[in-house]
Amino acid sequence: MECPHLSSNISGAFDSSRFPNGTPSSWCCNVCRSNKSPWICLTCLMVHCGRYRCDEFVVNDTKLGQVQKLREHLQSLRNLGNTCFMNAILQSLSNIEQFSCYFKELPAVALRSGKTAGRRMYHTRSQGDNSVSLVEEFRKTLCSLWQGNQTAFSPDSLFYAIWKIMPSFRGYQQQDAHEFMRYLLDHLHRELQYSRNGASHPVSPQDGVRLSSTDGKCCTNGTASVVTSIFGGILQNEVNCLICGTESRKFDPFLDLSLDIPSQFRQKRNKDQEPVPTCTLRDCLHSFTDLEELDDTELYYCHKCKKRQKSTKKFWIQKLPKVLCLHLKRFHWTAFLRNKVDTYVEFPLKGLDMRGYLLEPEKSLPGSCLYDLVAVVVHHGSGVGSGHYTAYGSHEGHWYHFNDSTVTLTNEDTVRKAKAYILFYVERTGQVKLF
Distances (CA, A) of 48 to 4, 408, 433: 14, 15, 45
CA angle 418, 266, 271 (to 5 degrees): 100
Q: What is the torsional sign of CA 360, 365, 366, 367? A: negative
- Count of residues for the chain? 435
Residue type for 275, please? Answer: P
Residues 161, 134: contact at Cβ < 8 Å?
A: yes
Catalytic machinery residues: 84, 388
DSSP string, 229-275: HHH-EEEEEEEEETTT--EEEEEEEESSEEE---GGGSPPPPTTSPP
Please state the φ and ψ torsions of residue 127, each to the nearest 5 degrees: -110, 40
Contacts of 334 (CB under 8 A, 6+ apart): none
Strand partners, 236: 251, 316
**Ranges of H-type helices in 166-231:** 177-195, 226-231
Q: 3-state DSSP: the chain helix, strand, coil percent, rounded to 5?
A: 30, 25, 45
Nearest to 85 by CA among 158, 160, 179: 179
Strand partners, 218: 211
CB atoms within 10 A of CB 220: 18
Q: Cα separation of 189 and 229, whole Å?
A: 10
Angle between helix 84-94 and helix 156-165 axes, rounded to 10 deg: 110
Nearest to 36 by CA among 144, 150, 153, 155: 150
Distances (CA, A) of 275 to 56, 287, 346, 404: 50, 21, 16, 36
Q: Cα separation of 82 and 383, whole Å?
A: 14
Nearest to 379 by CA among 403, 409, 414, 357: 403
Contacts of 206 (CB under 8 A, 6+ apart): 220, 234, 319
